[in-house]
Every structure is written in structure tokens, then in C-alpha cells.
Amino acid sequence: QKEVEQNSGPLSVPEGAIASLNCTYSDRSSQSFFWYRQYSGKSPELIMSIYSNGDKEDGRFTAQLNKASQYVSLLIRDSQPSDSATYLCAVLPQGGSEKLVFGKGTKLTVNP
């Protein structure tokens, strides 16, 4: 069973701080990694994707991937109250019949 693990939180940070969200996965062959944001009562929306080791930056968001450690993270710089949401990590194992495996999500609260 391929698994994606996230700390359920809640993670609470003050406004302006860096929020760090972490995710580990069990299938070493996985090649594609995604972060979704889900506001309360809404559906998940894709915010970041990463495919290679290292960092990928998009505005205030940075995704980090370390395939050797089977670890992917999302950093949110200058956190805003509007970033308060649940963040879902999703991993795509390699193989023609494989599909996305979602973690259960980490709830982030940014306090003004």
C-alpha cells in the first residue's frame, strides 16, 4: 500500500512568519509531487507541483523535494491570514496504472 504521511496539525504561525509543511511518502519510485490548498468548506486547488530534487519557487511558496529521503515540503513565506487552510500533499507513483495518492492534510492557521 503506497502511503503519504503528513502531520495533521494544526500548525499555528504568526502573520509574517514562515510556515513549513512536511510530507513523507513510501514509494521510492514516485516521480511527481503536488501540493493542494483546501479552504474550509471548499474543494482542493492545486498550488504547486515539483518533479526534480531541490527547490521550486512560486511567489511566496517554495516546494522542496528530496527523493533520497522520500520527503517533500512546502514553505510559505510572509504568511498571511488568507493562507489559513488545510494543505494536502499528493504523490504520483511511477507506473501506467498508478494514480495520485493523497495525504490527509495539515491544517494551517495564520494568526494576525
Partner 1 sequence: DGGITQSPKYLFRKEGQNVTLSCEQNLNHDAMYWYRQDPGQGLRLIYYSQIVNDFQKGDIAEGYSVSREKKESFPLTVTSAQKNPTAFYLCASSITIQETQYFGPGTRLLVL
List of residues contacting partner 1 (CB under 8 A): 32, 34, 42-46, 49, 88, 90, 92, 96-100, 102-105
Output 12 or 14, the one with its CB closest to partner 1.
12
Output 43 or 112, the one with its CB closest to partner 1.
43
CA 43, CA 79: separation in Å to the nearest integer?
A: 21
Asked if 72 and 64 touch (Cβ cutoff 8 Å), the reply is yes
Nearest-approach distance from CB 108 to partner 1, in angstroms? 14
Asked if 45 and 36 touch (Cβ cutoff 8 Å), the reply is yes
Nearest-approach distance from CB 41 to partner 1, in angstroms? 8
CA 6, CA 69: separation in Å to the nearest integer?
A: 15
Nearest-approach distance from CB 22 to partner 1, in angstroms? 16
